[in-house]
Structure 1
Amino acid sequence: MWKIQKRTWILSIFLISSLVGLAGCTEKTVKDKSLEGSVTEPQQQPERKPQEEPKKEEEPKPVVVNVIDPITKDLVKSFLPVDLGFGNENDTYKKEMEKWAKELARGTDQSPGYDQRMILDKLDANGQIIKGKPKIILEESELVEKLMAASVVGGDVELPLYVTESGYKPEDAAHLDEVAVASYTTKFNSAVVGRSKNIEISAQAINNIIVGTGDIFSFNTTVGPSDAAHGYQIAKEIVNKKLVDGVGGGICQTSSTLFNTVDKLGVKYVEKHHHSLSVGYVPAGRDATVSYGGPDFQFQNTTGVPFLIKTIYGKGTLTIEIRTTNAYQSQLKN
């Protein structure tokens, strides 16, 4: 009996001890969870952006002016206006631009200018057109205005070139020989070989020249130099009121014959000069002296229609005719 009670008592103590241990474990677990809940995680600091450096002010780009040829698209000149005084000495700068524009238009001893007289078209022996050259004018004042404006902001400036083609229709060329509307003949001594040859060469140079409406005919430009290289010979010519020997003597008879022919039409004279002495092949005051590089005979076709210059060289005679189409004959202004 005593053994049974003793065993029961020991077992009871063991169970009580076990329950106390479990209670202790449970309390610890609750406390641990409570502590875990009360722990505050460290807050994440915001990422700092690198401090931006202050922007540097951009230096202004230099003002550059480029002058362009509108026909070839080539660069004629490029410069910085400030280097030439723009902004400080504008009046002086403008004068420099005017000087440069003049040289560019008219040329210098070293280079030709843009300005170009018209070289008129011509018909060959088969009636085909031989092209000449158009009239070209570089407007100097307009160029200076463009340069002054561009000097403020820079940029490209195209040369103000004005190109004028001959005033006739290509399809009319084959018919311009249909009818003569004016004619004049002068005589010379065919035995004087040198002079006769010079008349022949210069007459051939202006033969079959097409003068379009509004075109300006220049004898010197059309005929060219009257020198030995072009076949001209020594003959008498008037120089400073004296008859002297010179290469090309006699070409003034060709220019004077042409003057008396076109004078029958409504043309406008651009340039015309008299000899210093009377000549025998035209009446007094009806001559037109010429010299390549010097006096020229120029007229503008203001008749309202295109026409053809026709020369007929014979033994001792030179005849020059102005011819046009049958249709244009009635429209021609005298």
Structure 2
Amino acid sequence: MKKGIWVISIVLTSSLIGLTGCSENKVKEKALEKKVTELQKQVEQEKKSKEADDKAKKQAEQKPIVVNIVDPNTKSFVKSFVPKEMGFGTNNEKYKQEIEKWAKDVARGTQTTPGYDKRMLPDRIGVNGLIVKGSPRTILEESELSEKVLQASEKGGDVELPLYVTQSGYKPEDASHLAEVVVATYSTHFNSSVVGRGKNIELSAQAINNVIIGTGDIFSFNTTVGPSDQEHGYQKAKEAVDGKLVDGIGGGICQTSSTLYNAIDQLGVSYVEKHHHSLHVGYVPTGRDATVSYGGADFRFQNTTGVPLLLKAIVRAGTLTVEVRTSKLYQANIKKGL
């Protein structure tokens, strides 16, 4: 009996050991299955990630490179380029020439679109003695813009217009003293009985009277005076055109610009633009005139005298006098003309 119990005990023990072994194998199998599942998920995720990367890369390759030109003041797009469509990468020299031409047009303007370049409209002293603000000089640097666009053409992106603004070169506190000393003056004469011409001289003289020309400022007669048309009160009078005297609205304003030239020429200014009439005019010696035409020929000079200046234009009894003045404080420092 004892022997039987012993045999049964051995059998039961063996069975239990076998069962324990099976249980451990199942645990291992489940752990292995879990690990395989996790690896499969990881491989699947990596596959999806690679597919997404490939898709994004393909889309990026298909999407054209674009260069956007941005106005720094408004932050709006002025123009967008697709360099490849314009020859970038296949004919870079032609592409460069097209960009340079565009930069020139956007700076200086075309017949239909104004450019970003703006001549200075000078400040002036008003009737109440206070400063009447004009507007600063604005220049768009064409070469810098072209270079920036060319650099951005490789990868695309935004390019801001390189605009440089120059304020008038005088101190506001000096304005009340600029009329103290006359440093240059010149007078011309006209027939006051010729009403149209006299009126045109008077209006253009008023336009330059009390104008402040700061150190380094570039003065433009056309910008300062504005259009010499009927809308602005100008009348019909004789003017020189292609070597002939013809009737035209605004005839006579060239006497104002020429009188100004002969006054300012006594000082150390630098001329930016100056033109002569196509025939001799009687109010100044030959070669001492400065013809102007709004939208065309202009009289421009830069104040390189080293001090701020004030213009005075006086019309009295058939005589036009232009005086250039400055402060007593600056009188000794002013550079004279040659």
TM-score interval, smaller chain: 0.7 to 0.9
- Matching residue of 2:16: 36
Look up the equivalent residue of 1:122 and give its one-letter code: R
How many equivalent residue pairs? 314
- Matching residue of 2:82: 80
TM alignment of 1:52-91, pairs within 5 A = 52-53=43-44, 54=47, 55-56=50-51, 57=54, 58-59=57-58, 60-61=60-61, 62=63, 63-91=65-93
Look up the equivalent residue of 1:50 and give its one-letter code: Q
Q: SS at the partner of 1:78?
A: strand
From 239, 248, 251, the equivalent of 1:249 is 251
30-39 vs 113-122, greater mean Cα deviation: 30-39
Change (3 A) 1:273 1:86: closer
Change (3 A) 1:289 1:37: closer
TM alignment of 1:97-176, pairs within 5 A = 97-176=99-178
CA distance in 2, matches of 1:241, 1:95: 39
Shift of 1:230: 0.9
Q: SS at the partner of 2:139?
A: strand
CA distance in 2, matches of 1:108, 1:291: 19
- TM-score (normalised: structure 2): 0.86
- Matching residue of 2:40: 50
CA distance in 1, matches of 2:242, 2:111: 28
Change (3 A) 1:204 1:31: same
- Matching residue of 2:96: 94
TM alignment of 1:245-284, pairs within 5 A = 245-284=247-286
Look up the equivalent residue of 1:315 and give its one-letter code: A
CA distance in 2, matches of 1:86, 1:279: 55
List structure 1 runs of 4+ shifted beyond 6 angstroms.
Answer: none
Matched, 1:201 2:218: no
Shift of 1:29: 4.0
CA distance in 2, matches of 1:277, 1:243: 9
CA distance in 1, matches of 2:331, 2:275: 30
**Identity %, equivalent residues:** 62
TM alignment of 1:169-184, pairs within 5 A = 169-184=171-186
Tell me the C-alpha RMSD between the 2 structures: 2.0
Shift of 1:263: 1.4
CA distance in 1, matches of 2:291, 2:285: 14
What per-residue deviation string (whole Å, max 9, x for no partner) do you get for residues 25-55 of structure 1? 5653454234312442251220213162442
- TM-score (normalised: structure 1): 0.87
CA distance in 2, matches of 1:109, 1:291: 17
Greater radius of gyration (CA): 1
Shift of 1:324: 0.9
Q: Which structure shows the bigger proportion of residues in helix conformation?
A: 2
- Matching residue of 1:223: 225
From 291, 299, 310, the equivalent of 2:293 is 291
CA distance in 2, matches of 1:285, 1:68: 46
